[in-house]
Amino acid sequence: MNFPENEKEVLNYWDEKNIFKKTLEKPAPQGSFVFYEGPPTANGKPGIHHAESRAFKDCIPRFKTMQGYNVVRKAGWDTHGLPVEIEVEKQLGFTGKAEIEEYGIDKFNARCKESVWTYKGDWEAFTKRLGYWVDLDDPYITYKPEYIESLWWVVKQVWEKGLLYKDYRVTPHCPRCGTSLSSHELSQGYKDVKDLSVTAKFKLVGIDNEYVLAWTTTPWTLPGNVGLAVGKELDYVKIKQGDDLLWLAKGRLSDVMEGDVEIVEEVKGEALVGKEYEPLYPFMQELMEGTEEGEKKAWYIMPADFVTTEDGTGVVHTAVMYGADDFTLGNEVGLPKFHLVKLDGTYIDGTAFLAGRFVADEQVAIDIIKDLAHRGLLFAKAKYEHSYPHCWRCKTKVIYYAKDSWYIRMSELRDELLRQNATIHWEPSHIQDGRFGEWLREVKDWAFSRERYWGTPLPIWESEDGDRLCVGSFDELRELAKDKTLVGETFDPHRPFVDDVVLVKDGKEFKRVPDVCDVWFDSGSMPYAQWHYPFENKELVDSGELYPADYISEAIDQTRGWFYTLLAVSTLLGRKSAYKNVICLGHVLDAEGKKMSKSLGNIVEPMEMMEKHGADAVRWYMYTINQPGESKRFDEKMLSDMVRQNFGILMNVASFYEMFAEGEVATTEPTHVLDRWILARLNKLVTETTERLEGYVITETVRELGEFITDLSTWYVRRSRDRVKGEDVQDRMAAIATLRECLHVFSRLMAPFAPFLAETLYKKVGGTEESVHLDTWPNVNQSLIDEEVLTRMDETRAIVTKVLERRVEAGVPVKQVLSSVTICIPSGTFAEEYQALVRAEVNVKDVIVKKGEMGADLDLTLTPELIREGTVREMIRNVNALRKNVGLTIEDKIELYVSGPEEVMKAALDYQETLLHSTLADLLRTDGEPPEHHASFTVNEFEITIGFVTIK
Ligand SMILES: [Zn+2]
């Protein structure tokens, strides 16, 4: 079967018959099962990792639907934020915010809105081709006004709880994008980089040649230095080096200094506190002069608790505006707060050789070092390798920068977040206390505002005297708006339009703060905003019909992304966790384990894979290759082997069934041991599959389905071939009915995972519903789970394997019949029905059973009698092959011709009856010339010719 072609037919069939819609409309006696779609952004093409996540997203809802649940699956699109803005900036050739503002925010946002649909068609085609059933006709879209209105409602709830606040503090800031980043965004952008580190000499005031050494990995912050911090209790030494006297922590001596050093003085850090030093750069002092900040005391040594002797010199360079600890310390002791760097990451005018230059530029660090060296203030420089955060979207080095931002007090909710996390079922389970738990235990306040354009506007308005209003709905906005014409029915709540809306309350005017919300807030609020809650569907969400999600699945990096913001928002709203069960997926790498990238040229196109091998194949591969949480090395060769081993074999079994199926086959109480065995095996499979899926265990489930295919084919069908072709009608019918039952149940078990092939198989075995996906999940027939027969059959197969190995060792082919095998079995009993299977499979005449440790001993003695019997079997095989070649059917009777040496003729005559019966011959001729249809072959060193003529 050409699987990809077959899948296209199935897709057409689903379309024509509206099968997905029908699965949503069918009765759901179990009630609702809630699934949330984590929204992708359609401004990039879907990749193979999306095939992974969509495969996992799809299987559980299909399973639950078959179990009788109603599983609403609303598609969603994430449309705001930096990913979109940067894409448009690239298109327009912009490098920063100034160009956007010049271009016009309205025009810029219009382009953003358009750009998010660039690959919508690809996404839809991909989603459909993969067989991921989700309602693409009625998706939630995060830029829609009603979606934004729900988000505003959420913000207002947070506001009213006093959890949203504005603060001036050092925050991670992307100088290129000109905006704050939250800790969860930051955690997605760490990169190992080599930076220049500097140990600078700070000259003490009034003493010649005496310096304090301080170290930094961000030389660009040195001009902003306003203090040096020491540990009060730490030991410091003054050493002599050449003409210089240098202060540093004693504990750092051996790391910082080479060779012998002369210690001149040793003191506790406390003794250094208060000493003044000369500013490293005079321009800092000049620029501050005359300002309020210039009045504050700076450039002296102060104590701080965070100073250690782990790295550097044990003296911490303090640039209040560019470090979180520095800022806190500066606040405590009243250091001046003065920016030398603008929000766009460039130095202000008046900073000598640095003016106008970008802080993250490596040449800036080099020039600072050169300048220090020139002035005799450089002690050392080195390459320093460390993991440093970069903007998750534009890859620019993040800087720490003091400024105003809006925060949500997540740190206050830490305990509740942990309590809610404890209720979530994580797959893999170690995420709960590991990656996610760790994150929550360290949770920081959410840096919530972005100084950007294309996003959900922060619904905060400020008056000139600092009063603030938070708006929680469009009605509220309309009520307060000074100019109501700006907020008509069709108003666009985006920037810049909303910026023009001035509010009036108690005679005071309020202007909107310019920020937008963190885009991760959009998707984290989808449980409510996708239903325009609470303005619509309030009852459905509050009653539990649509909330919380029973199941979600995304890649593992979402522990800092969507998994986190979903929980953050639900916790902010005082609700229980927005999801109950979650499967976290590992990343997809190339076959060698390398990250896929355009530059390496190792990107696997999901559509191409599906065209080549089929969607079922891609899905099955993702489910079975390893555990969901592990990284997956995508290996096309393994995928195609898997198709053959599973789907190919399954379809061979299905063809075998079709060839022999005769009309309606009723299942009867199984009597034959093979039937009893496979039905026990099948029902056990149903039990285990159901249990596992209810526990969100996918890999073992699908692997077991594969095992069943193997057992069904290589044991049940193989050993039942003779029954199906035999003359015992009762037994033949039983075998066919059993096989049909197996395939019918199996088609339903595999439906969540390989939805296309399951459909085809279901139809082949006469499934009565319009689609396998409209049928019910199989019930277990407990009475058929016969553990005895399962154990005995395992023993039987183990024995067979041993005996066949023995034959190979001895070089006696299976077609040569042997007289007996003696098998040892712990119980000492081995029923005739199992013995019969052994006899047939390993081709011996007798099975002798003994009590003892499991084993088998094959009698390899070849008597003339056995050789004759083996010879006859070969004749039969050759005659039947010739009959098939010539095109005879079972209706055609023949006169058989045999010629060969005396031993051969004796064998033919001794076993004449078997020979004639097995070849559908009426007569045997052993003399004269061979007839027209004949063939010669060698067996046991005898030249034999067989042939026949048809009897009219
Ligand atoms: Zn950036």
pLDDT averaged over the chain? 94
Over 70: is that where the pLDDT of 856 sits? Answer: yes
Pairing of strands 449-450, 516-517: antiparallel
Q: Is 21 a catalytic residue?
A: no
CATH number for the domain formed by residue range(s) 632-767: 1.10.730.10
Place of tokens 């309602």: 135
- Per residue in 721-755, pLDDT (tens digit) is 999 988 888 899 999 999 999 999 999 999 999 99
**Total residues belonging to the chain:** 952
Give the count of alpha carbons within 13 A of 7, CB side only: 21
Residues 2-24, mean pLDDT to the nearest whole number: 97
pLDDT at 445 over 80: yes
**952 has catalytic annotation:** no
pLDDT, position 855: 87
Calculated CA dihedral for residues 834, 749, 721, 815, nearest 10 degrees: -70
Q: How far apart are CA 335 and CA 296, in angstroms?
A: 6
761-783 pLDDT, tens digit each:
999 999 999 999 999 999 999 99
pLDDT of the residue at 664: 57
Note the pLDDT of residue 854: 86
Is pLDDT at 106 greater than 60 in this prediction? yes
How many whole angstroms separate alpha carbon 129 and alpha carbon 8?
8
- Say whether pLDDT at 794 is over 90: yes
**Hey, what are 614's tokens?**
């089929």
Residue 666 pLDDT > 70, yes or no? no
* Percent of the residues in the chain that have a pLDDT greater than 90, as a whole number: 87
Whether 530 is a known active-site residue: answer: no
For residue 667, the model assigns a pLDDT of 64
Predicted local confidence at residue 952, as pLDDT: 76
pLDDT at 564: 97
- Over range 798-802, report the average pLDDT: 94
Per-residue confidence (pLDDT) for residue 258, from 0 to 100: 85
Q: What is the pLDDT of residue 745?
A: 98
- Residue pair 586/553 in contact (Cβ under 8 Å)? The answer is no
The answer for residues whose C-beta is within 8 angstroms of residue 90's C-beta and 6 or more apart is none
598 in a known ligand binding site:
yes
Q: Distance from the CA of 878 to the center of ligand 1, in angstroms?
A: 76
Residue 315 has a pLDDT of 96
Backbone angles phi, psi at 60, to 5 degrees: -65, -45
Distance 84 CA to ligand 1 centre (A): 12
Q: What is the mean pLDDT of residues 873-899?
A: 91
Q: What is the arithmetic mean of pLDDT over 31-35?
A: 97
The rounded Å distance from CA 391 to ligand 1 centre is 5
The token pair at 254 is 């051996």
Sorting pLDDT into bands at 50, 70 and 90, what band is 803? very high
Residues whose Cβ atom is located within 5 A of ion ligand 1: 174, 176-177, 391, 394, 396
Active site residue 45: no
State the DSSP string of 500-518.
G--EEETTEEEEE-S-EE-
Q: How far is the CA of 394 from the centre of ligand 1 (A)?
A: 4
The C-alpha atoms of residue 20 and residue 62 are separated, in whole angstroms, by 10
What's the whole-number mean pLDDT along residues 623-632?
A: 94
What mean pLDDT comes out for the span 814-829? Answer: 90
Cα-to-centroid distance, 399 and ligand 1 (Å): 10
Peptide bond into 139 cis (omega under 30): no
* CA-wise closest residue to 667 among 722, 719, 720, 745: 745
The mean pLDDT of 849-857, rounded to a whole number, is 90
pLDDT at 249: 96
Name the least confident of 65-69, 513-517, 618-622, 658-662: 658-662
Cβ burial, residue 169 (10 Å; 0-12/13-18/19+): middle
Distance from the alpha carbon of residue 174 to the mean position of ligand 1, in angstroms: 5
Q: Buried (b) or exposed (e) across 684-712, using 16+ Cβ within 10 A? A: bbbeebbebbeebbbbebbebbbebbebb
Residue 50 DSSP SS3:
helix
Q: Under 8 Å CB-to-CB from 708, ≥6 apart: which residues? A: 681, 682, 685, 746
The count of other CB atoms within 10 Å of the CB of residue 484 is: 12
> 33 and 64 in contact (C-beta within 8 Å)?
yes
Structure tokens of 293?
A: 């900040």
pLDDT at 663: 64
Q: Is 520 a catalytic residue?
A: yes
Q: Where are the domains of the chain?
A: 195-319+364-383, 632-767, 790-858, 864-951
Q: Which helix (H) or strand (E) holds 554?
A: strand 549-555
651, pLDDT greater than 70: yes
Cis peptide before 534 (omega within 30 of 0): yes
Confidence band of 20 (pLDDT split at 50, 70, 90): very high
Measured between alpha carbons, how far is residue 148 from residues 33, 75, 427, 578 in Å?
26, 17, 32, 19
Q: Which of 4, 39, 303, 336 is catalytic?
A: 39
Whether the Cβ atoms of residue 220 and residue 364 lie closer than 8 Å to each other: yes
Instruction: Identify whether the C-beta of residue 505 lies closer than 8 Å to the C-beta of residue 462.
Output: no
Q: Which entry of 29, 192, 465, 598 is annotated as an active-site residue?
A: 598
Task: Give CA–CA dist 445/464, Å, rounded.
Answer: 27
Q: Report how far ligand 1's centroid is from the alpha carbon of 185 (Å).
A: 11
Query: Does residue 915 contact residue 921 with C-beta atoms inside 8 Å?
Result: yes
Token digits of residue 233: 């209790």
Mean pLDDT over residues 877-906, rounded?
Answer: 91
Selection from 76, 50, 46, 74 nearest residue 142 by Cα? 76
- Transcribe 449-492 into DSSP letters: EES-SSSPBP-EEEETTS-EEE--SHHHHHHHBSSGGGG-TT--
| pLDDT tens digits, one per residue of 300-328 | 999 999 999 998 999 999 999 999 999 99
CB within 8 Å of 918: residues ≥ 6 apart = 876, 880
Q: Which of 14, 58, 74, 78 is catalytic?
A: 78
DSSP string spanning 696-758?
T--HHHHHHHHHHHHHIIIIIIHHHHHHHHSS-HHHHHHHHHHHHHHHHHHHHHHTTTSHHHH
> Catalytic residue among 157, 420, 530, 558, which?
558
Percent of the chain whose pLDDT exceeds 70: 99
What spacing in Å lies between the alpha carbon of 570 and ligand 1's midpoint? 28
For residue 267, CA distances in Å to 252, 271, 304 come to: 14, 6, 16
Compute the distance from residue 825 Cα to the ligand 1 centre, in Å: 72
936 three-state secondary structure: strand
* pLDDT at residue 494 greater than cutoff 70: yes
Task: Reply yes or no on whether 558 is catalytic.
Answer: yes
Model pLDDT, residue 95: 86
**C-alpha–C-alpha distance, residues 778 and 341, integer Å:** 68
If you measure from the C-alpha of residue 401 to the centroid of ligand 1, how many angstroms do you get, rounded to a whole number?
Answer: 14
- What one-character-per-residue DSSP string does 355-409 give? BT-BTT-HHHHHHHHHHHHHTT-EEEEEEEEEEEEB-TTT-PBPEEEEEEEEEE-
Q: How confident is the model at residue 227 (pLDDT cuts 50, 70, 90)?
A: very high
CATH topology for the 195-319+364-383 domain: Isoleucyl-tRNA Synthetase; domain 2 (3.90.740)
pLDDT over 90 (residue 266): yes
Q: What is the pLDDT of residue 473?
A: 97
User: What mean pLDDT is predicted for residues 582-603?
Assistant: 91
Decide if 195-319+364-383 and 632-767 have a common fold.
Answer: no
Centre of ligand 1 from the C-alpha of residue 177, in Å: 4
Q: Residue 665: is its pLDDT beyond 80?
A: no
Cβ atoms 595, 631 nearer than 8 A: no
- How many helices (H) and strands (E) are present in the chain, helices listed first? 35, 35
Q: Of 133, 406, 520, 777, which is the active-site residue?
A: 520
pLDDT of residue 920: 92
Assign residue 851 a region (left: φ > 0; alpha: ψ between -120 and 50; beta: otherwise).
beta
Rounded to an integer, the average pLDDT of 708-723 is 96
598 is catalytic: yes
Q: At 848, is the secondary structure helix, strand, or coil?
A: strand
Which of 401, 387, 398 has its CA nearest to residue 324? 401
Asked whether the predicted pLDDT for residue 453 surpasses 90, the reply is yes
Which member of 562, 620, 677, 715 is catalytic? 562
How many angstroms separate the alpha carbon of residue 534 from the centre of ligand 1? 34
88 Cα to the center of ligand 1, angstroms: 13
- Residue 264, classed as helix, strand or coil, is strand
Give 543-554 pLDDT, tens digit per residue: 999 999 999 999
Placement of tokens 């250094």 in the chain? 272
